[in-house]
Amino acid sequence: MFKQLKQTVASAISSNPLYEYVLDTSGTTLCGRNNLFEKCDAVVRASGKKVTIFTLRIKRMLECCSADEALAIIKTVKNSVALLTLMRHPGILSIDGQLVESKSKIWFVTERVSMVLTPETVHGLPLQVKLLGLCHCAEAIRFLHERAEILLFNFAFSSIYVAEDNKWKIGDLCFAMPRAQLNAPPPSPFPFHSVAAPLLDYLPTEYVDFCTKQSDTAHRDLFSAEAAPLVYPDSDTYGFLVVTVEALEEKRLFHCSGNPREQQRQLSSVEALMSRYFPAGALRLPRPPIATVISTGPFATPDMKTLTALLSFDILDNDTRFRLLKALYDGLTQSGFCEAVILSDIVPLMLRESKMDAMLRFALPILLLCAGTLCADNFSRALREYFVSLLTAIIRAPSLQRLAVYAEQLLQRRESIQKHFASVEDRATFIVPLIMKLMQSDGNERLQKGSLEWLRDVLIQTPTINLDLPNDIATRLLHVASSNADFFSLAFQCLEKILTLATTETKMEVEVSLTRDISNATLSLTTVQQDYILNLLKSIQEKMSPEHRAIRSIPLLCPLLLHTNGTMRQFAVASIVGYAQLFGSGPTPPLPSSGASVSSSAAHSAAPLALTAPLTRSTQSPSAAQPATRANDDVFASLFS
C-alpha cells in the first residue's frame, strides 16, 4: 500500500509541468503591469538553460479587482503570450514553451529576465544605458509595425523586460492591436483606474479622447466614428516619447490617477518639459515616426549615433562598417562609453566578429580597449576566457609570421592585459611565456622592442618571487643586445633586474657570455654602452669569491688583453692585477648570498625579480611554460594554424 502511494505521488510530481524546472524562489518578486506578475528565476532540469517563470495568481487578482476584471486580465495576458510566441526579433522577449493554465494560476516561461522596469528602477542608470535600451525597444516596435502590422498601443515601463545580458526588450503585448482594427478600436470596457484597463498615463491622447466621447454618448455606436481614433504608427510614438522623457527626467510625467480629464489638463506642462529634448508639439498629431525620434534630441549625440549604428551593423556596407569601427575605437580611447553598454552591446558584437580571420585585426584593438575599461568581475565574466584562448594560441603557435599584426596590437595595449593578468600565477602562465615568444621574433624590431619593454615593466612591478623564467633568459637578453644595438639599453635593464636576485650559477653564466662577446668583438658599442657593460661585468665579478676570480674570472679576462679597444685592455689589466692581489692576501671571505646586489642602479630599483631556478635544470624553450589546454582554443588554433 505504501509503495503504491509513493508511486502515485511520484507520478503526480513528474506530471506537473513545473517539475521540468529547478526554481530559485529566494529572488521572487512582483512586477509587470500593476505588479500583478510574480517573477521567479529557474533552470531547466534537462538542459541547464536559465529561464524566468512569470505567474499570474487568481487569488491575488481577486484581491484588487472584480471577477470580470480578472477574466479580462487573463484573456489579455494569454493573447500577449500568444503574440510573443510568434514574434522573432532580438528586441522582443522570447517565450520558452506554452502558457500553462490551472484553477489557481496561469504561468509562462521566458528567457532569463533580470527585471521588469518601473519608473523607479531607472533611477541612477547611466544615460547611455537608458537611451540604448530605448533604441532596442524602438527597433522592436518598428518590427511590430512593419512586419507584423501591429500597434503596440500601450507602451510603458512595464512593457520593458531587461534580459540577463542587460538588453531591453518588449515583453508585454497585452493591448496590442492589428492594423486592420485601428479604424474602430473598442473602447476600454473598464474605467481607466481599473487594473484591467490600459495604463492611462501612457495612452495616446486621440484614444483617450475617443473613449471619453464614447462614454459621454448615451448610445455607443463603435462604427459611427467620423475619423480613425488611432493613427498608425503615430499612436505608438506617443507612449515612446513619454517613456523616454520619464527615463531622462527620472520622474513620472502624468499623474492622472485613472481620470482621463486629468491627461488633457496636464498635457501642456508635460509638453513644456518634453520640449527640452524634442521639438515642440511632438506629442500632438501628426507625430514623428519612432525612427526619427531615435535620431534626434538626446539620441543625436556622437556617442549615441555610434552605439545605435551597432544595431544595424550586419546590414552595413564594408566602408560604413569600418567607419563605425573607427568611431567605436576612438570613443573607447576617449572613455566615451559606460561599462554597462560595453558589456551589453560592444563586447558581444566584437567577440562574434573576432572569430572571422578578416575581422580579427579590427575587432582585437576594440576588445583590448574594452578590457582596459572593465572591472575585474566583469572582465572575468565577459572576456577572460577569450583572452586566455588568444594568449594560449599565440604562445603555442609554431611561427609568428601570421601573428605579427595581432602580437603588435597586444603590445600596443598591453596595459589592458597586465591589468587583468596581474596575479603571480597569470604572469607565470601567460605573460612571461608570451614575452619569451615575442622576444624571439628576429627581424621584427617592433615585436622585439615591445617584448623587452613589457619584460622590463614586469620585472619592475613584480614582487620578489619566482616567475618561472627560463634558465637561459640572461643568455637570450645578451643575444638580443648583441644582435641589435638599438635594444642594448632595454636588454641590459632587464638583465640587471634579473641579476639582482639571481643565483650564483646564473651570474657565472652571464659572466662567461659577457667576456666571450667582448673578446670576440661581437658587440659594436658606444662609449656609454661600453662603460655600462664593463661596470656590469665588474659588479658580477666583485661579488664572487677570491677563488672564483682567480680560477674563473682571470682566465676569462685574459683574451681582453689583446683587444683592439684600449679601454677593454685597460679594464682587463686592472681587473686581473686586482683579483690576483686580493687572492694572495688575507683570509678567504665567505661566498656572497644569491640575493646580493649587482649594481648600484639595480639596488635602487623597485620590486626586483627572483630567478632562483638552478642551471642544472634543463633550459626551457620560449613556450615552455604553456597554459593548460582549454576547450575553446579551437577558434584561434584554426585562425593561426
Q: What is the mean predicted confidence (pLDDT) over 143-163?
A: 95
Q: 27-31, 428-432, 497-501, 543-547 — which is least confidently predicted? A: 497-501
Burial of 324 (0-12, 13-18, 19+ CB in 10 A): middle
Q: Is the pLDDT of residue 181 over 50?
A: yes
Percent of the chain with pLDDT over 90: 60
Q: Is the pLDDT of residue 559 over 60?
A: yes
End-to-end CA distance of the chain: 67
Q: What pLDDT score does 182 carry?
A: 82
* Residue 431 DSSP class: I
Between 516 and 407, name the one with better pLDDT. 407
Measured from the Cβ of residue 449, the count of other Cβ atoms closer than 10 Å reads 18
Q: How confident is the model at residue 627 (pLDDT cuts 50, 70, 90)?
A: low
Q: What pLDDT score does 466 carry?
A: 61
pLDDT in tens, 271-311: 999 999 999 899 999 999 999 999 999 999 999 999 999 99
Q: What is the mean predicted confidence (pLDDT) over 520-540?
A: 78
> What phi, psi does 360 have (nearest 5°)?
-60, -40
Say how far apart CA 118 and CA 156 lie, in whole Å. 9
Q: Is the pLDDT of residue 219 over 60?
A: no
Say how far apart CA 242 and CA 94 lie, in whole Å. 25
Q: 559-568: long-range contacts at Cβ-Cβ below 8 A with a sequence spacing of 24 or more?
A: 559/515, 559/519, 560/515, 560/518, 560/519, 563/518, 563/519, 563/521, 564/521, 565/530, 567/530, 567/534, 568/518, 568/530, 568/534
Q: Is the pLDDT of residue 4 over 80?
A: no
Q: What pLDDT score does 599 carry?
A: 39
Q: 474-478: long-range contacts at Cβ-Cβ below 8 A with a sequence spacing of 24 or more?
A: 474/498, 474/499, 474/502, 474/506, 474/509, 474/510, 474/513, 475/509, 475/510, 475/513, 476/436, 476/439, 476/440, 478/510, 478/513, 478/514, 478/517
Spatial contact of 70 and 59, defined as CB atoms under 8 Å apart: no
pLDDT in tens, 360-374: 999 999 999 999 999
Residue labelled with grid coordinates 513644456: 272
Q: What pLDDT score does 587 carry?
A: 55
Q: Is the pLDDT of residue 214 over 80?
A: no
DSSP string, 153-166: ----GGGEEEETTS
Q: What is the mean predicted confidence (pLDDT) over 178-200?
A: 88
Q: What pLDDT score does 463 carry?
A: 54
Query: What are the residues whose beta carbons fall under 8 Å from the beta carbon of 521, sequence distance 6 or more?
Result: 563, 564
Between 162 and 599, name the one with better pLDDT. 162
Q: How confident is the model at residue 573 (pLDDT cuts 50, 70, 90)?
A: very high
* Amino acid of residue 92: I
Q: How confident is the model at residue 638 (pLDDT cuts 50, 70, 90)?
A: low
Percent of the chain with pLDDT over 70: 85
The mean pLDDT of the chain is 85
Sign of CA dihedral 435, 441, 442, 447: negative
Q: What is the mean predicted confidence (pLDDT) over 483-493?
A: 84
Q: What is the mean predicted confidence (pLDDT) over 325-341?
A: 96
Q: What pLDDT score does 407 carry?
A: 94
Say how far apart CA 176 and CA 144 lie, in whole Å. 10
Q: What is the mean predicted confidence (pLDDT) over 465-492?
A: 79
Q: 231-240, 316-325, 472-481, 579-588 — which is least confidently predicted? A: 579-588
Q: What is the mean predicted confidence (pLDDT) over 529-541?
A: 85
* Amino acid of residue 281: G
Spatial contact of 111 and 228, defined as CB atoms under 8 Å apart: no
Pairing state of beta strands 610-611 and 501-502? parallel
Between 118 and 506, name the one with better pLDDT. 118
Q: What is the dihedral of CA 205, 207, 210, 211, to 10 degrees?
A: -110
Q: What pLDDT score does 523 carry?
A: 54
Q: What pLDDT score does 87 carry?
A: 95
pLDDT in tens, 425-478: 898 899 999 999 999 887 888 999 999 999 998 888 775 456 777 877 877 888
Q: What pLDDT score does 150 carry?
A: 95
Q: 82-86, 390-394, 463-467, 475-479 — which is least confidently predicted? A: 463-467
Q: What is the mean predicted confidence (pLDDT) over 583-608?
A: 43
Element (H, E) at 332: helix 318-333
Please list, residue by residue across 579-591, b when 16 or more beta carbons sit within 10 angstroms of its beta carbon and e when fewer do.
beeebeeeeeeee
Q: How confident is the model at residue 210 (pLDDT cuts 50, 70, 90)?
A: confident
* Amino acid of residue 290: I
Please list, residue by residue across 46-75, b when 16 or more beta carbons sit within 10 angstroms of its beta carbon and e when fewer do.
eeeeebbbbbbebebbeeebeeebbebbbe
Q: What pLDDT score does 86 carry?
A: 95
Residues in the chain: 641
Q: Is the pLDDT of residue 614 over 90?
A: no
Q: What pLDDT score does 349 carry?
A: 97
Q: How confident is the model at residue 618 (pLDDT cuts 50, 70, 90)?
A: very low
Q: 153-157, 222-226, 250-254, 527-531 — which is least confidently predicted? A: 222-226
Between 628 and 118, name the one with better pLDDT. 118
| C-alpha separations of 510 from 112, 415, 525, 598, 608 in Å | 60, 31, 18, 12, 18
